[in-house]
Structure 1
């Protein structure tokens, strides 16, 4: 044994030297990677920083330029509105003065028609010219269009001398060339010039009067009227001369303006009425179907509404705002210098229309820069890749060499150990599993013996590098793993499999490998006289493949074990493990070995007593028993908690034939398992199943029964989730500790259990990996000589301290 340890120290030294070489190569690899990456990162940061700076500067310049563009457009609109409305007062006065030498009440119709027709022909923004008298007589020439026919229409309203007689209305239409198309009398339409705002305002002001926007009587179009009174020498009103201007002409002008790509300009008043809009009609209907002027709210554009609200609050000028994540520029200016009304030009344009080209230019520049950097990075990547490939090959060579050296020395030392070929029980096999696991750098290495009946595999020894511990005695039965035994009989050489993907090994993976954190399995049969008598397993995490040197080494160890087995058979000894639950051949060594294992794992044998005392101290009467007749304190009681984490999986149908749900079938199987193993307490609460041992039964026997129930429940859950091809969405927890029991119904004999043991079982289930049984150290103390456990971690309990937790893997 001393020689073996000395040789093992030499192997460790060789591995340390190889490790230093690997570290040197690794540092060189990091330099090769990070230096080009740092250069590319600096270039990229400089490019992005320059692009951001350029964008901000160009954006500020573009916005400054936009102020001039918007100002010019507003001046243009003001000029157009001035040119549109400015001549009208002069035209109205000219018309009045032209007819002033005539008696307007008896003016000749031919003269008035010629004057009005000339004015309309030369002033396109006017729609009509008219004269009204205080007597209610009216004369108007207006433009008309019906389909493709257009021209001038003369409307004359005369009032007979008899007050009771209805007014006489004459309508005459002229074509585009002046020809008379129709001349007829028509029923009076109720029009009285004396009631119209243009007549009333001019008569009151005795000077030029501009009406507010209103709907024209004849066409129902939105417009305004300019009118002037004609007074005689005595200052009496003789007549009112006026002309109409439809605002639709202003809307058509606004539609011709180009304000960025999608900006618009409109004219509004302070009441929110729209005087001109490039795309909307100016007349709409209210809720009662009556015609009225269009308002800002009627447009239904949140951008226009926001711009108008900013104007009403902040007044004329520029206002920037944001709507739906997009920035807009708005500007308002007054038209009060042209009209005696509160009209304003409201101009709105998205900021992108002015600065969008900046983003595009910066984006193009950034794209070209990134392309250059990407090209440089690609070239650097090729160089780095070549260097990394060389370094990786060097590391692989060093690691393979170190592994080959370790395996060769381990095999040589094992072959020279005389104790290996003597019948010394399983203690000598610990050298084999530990040497195989360490030199092959796998998680676990185990040796198994196949019983003569061929129905049972018994673990002779298993070494786990993570826990630095040996276990033995685990059994695998053909009844629970039929695919495994069929696989062992058919595989004659080294088998390289991913156990989680092999249908024959699903049960082995779920019950043995997965709870211990292993997925890949390398199996080497141990054959004596051509018959499989055992197997060597190398277990590890997920692997894409097993290296050839590991397979060759495992085959060599398997042959060595076959020679040992044959030598033992020749000497009349059988190297095998006693069946699970039976005592060892040498009982005098079993107790010290168990005691040493407890000390090695730092297990506190007084944990149960400390937990009981701490729990009793929390009760109202201190450490004394509860005095109520129907409530009893229990010092040691085993609890199991089963928690489901996928409610949808439980709600699915278990199969297509019966229509039974998964949860119904699962609860039936769990209830059957509870009856089989004598579980006295079983409850199903929301997503959790709670089971407890019989408080009146022997603690050791009851704990074993509950552990068997937990394994049975685990197997039932695994089967149902596997049938649904779903992940194992269940978690089991188990504890052995103090509890309280109370009688609920004396007649029915029903009772309830709760306390610290139940709470700890809940906590163990909540922190358990999917598909596993997570136990406390108290459970390990009670069952470690009967079941296979793996150290999981640690847990802190108030007034007790820290203790270890374990995963229950199976029976020994």
Structure 2
């Protein structure tokens, strides 16, 4: 079953929903507040913006009517003056000064500042002009011929018409008939819609003014064509339009339908007439995109207002006709929307700040509600965990109390270590008995919940753990976060804890009647404050169990056949640490032995990249060989043979099956494992060995002669080697099913699983955990 399919029956969907609501409910409320504020603010802004744009349109229309009226008034003298002039000036033109024209011109120029000058001419090339001169004077110019030369004759008068000076300028080749204001006025004389002709703006050389001429043709009394023209200065109109306040930063311009600028923006009076052509100034889409869009809109939709997007801003525009000009001049006004909608922007910013303040307060309230809800949930969870823990502890205590022979040290009670690991979350829990000599601690039971296995039989002595035994005698509880760095627990960590990768250690001495009888050891316990009482209860039970002395023959090696411990000479050619046990020096009879216990110990090759490491490894190997040789002799094994990096140990070799031989071999295996772990840990080396054991038939025989070598081969040896190679972890003793059947009354095992044995089929294997 996958982890995703595992369902915790203690977990309630209602509690999950409550937890989700506690967390997301306040935030959902804040989001609703934010959404409501956003919608209301956006709606208010849109309403305010539309109102501002509507107001700006009204203001622009009012401004447009005002400007239109101003422009009409500005240009009115041209149209009105021309109509009046054609009724007053029908007398034929001669070389004599036309007094009526001069009087009319002086009067208009005096009272109408936008009028620059007047022309009157006829088709006989008679030409008269009057314009201002000086502060209050006038200049009368007459085109005439003197001594065969064409000249402009100038007469300067004061405001009353008194002559104050005269002058002349050459005028060779001048003819009034080709002038646009004359020729086109004559051409459209009979066109009622275009009778008054307007020229394009141009620079008047004499006055340095940008002017536009309105001319009207009529017939004088002698039947000749006469033309009356009024020159209107655009400088003042441009200055008026440029100074016009359209919003805060708006602009106004008068253009024709082709985009030519008549007055206003980009037609400033300060330009140099010698280099600037006012008749060739058009709207530039790059520099005047707003006016260009407004004119295009006018061409399509006609007069009206609109909103134009340009330069990343919105502009309000208005376009209207100036119908009194025949070329359909268009008045364009624009102003940034912000000029009229600033108050809306300001109101929006204020609304945003107020909204942010409200959202901030709501968020703080939501966080406070979440924090309060989580705090309540933690308290509720802590109370629930406390209740569950009390229930679990009560169940454990009930199970401990109901265990038979609880205080009898001759019976195993694995419930104690299991309860300790369950309640403390330890990586491993173990119970250690202080032996009567006071110099050794014997592990009576160690439980590894990760592997679900119990083990026993490991001993530690005062000689390697002096500081730890001192703390044990003083009854001090040791809680060490890194046992490898504490001098009291360094050796214990290397020998015992290193096998499971534990570093945190809780060492609790067990005392009975003011006397230390053992210790409880927890490796990597979970950090919790509610474990003291369960440890105290288990310690009380353990104290009563350890108060009884060990029975003779328990806790040590199983009794068996013990061979003579007399030192034998090492013979490298034979490869035996313990020569085959034969009677009277007779060789073992060759043949098939039906039930021989065989054990194979395999070491990793002691390869190292430097001489010091090799030397240290070889020193450990020599020490281990002595320890294994001693254990084999004390256990009464038949033989110990060295084969490369493997040891082959035979418990006994007889034609009659001997179950005690298998017991002696298994007891030796436990002792050898402990010796190897201790020696390797002292040298700071990882466990690099595995052990396999099988009981079965072998063939045995003495091979060779002088010297001869005893050798065995067969199913038991093959099975032991396969079990060694497939052992799950370093330092593990894996046995066959045949060996398990013989040893299960004397040792603790855990099932490993199915094992394939060549030529025999599927069988089971077991892990030998320790002595019972």
| TM-score (structure 1 length as normaliser) | 0.47
| TM-score (structure 2 length as normaliser) | 0.49
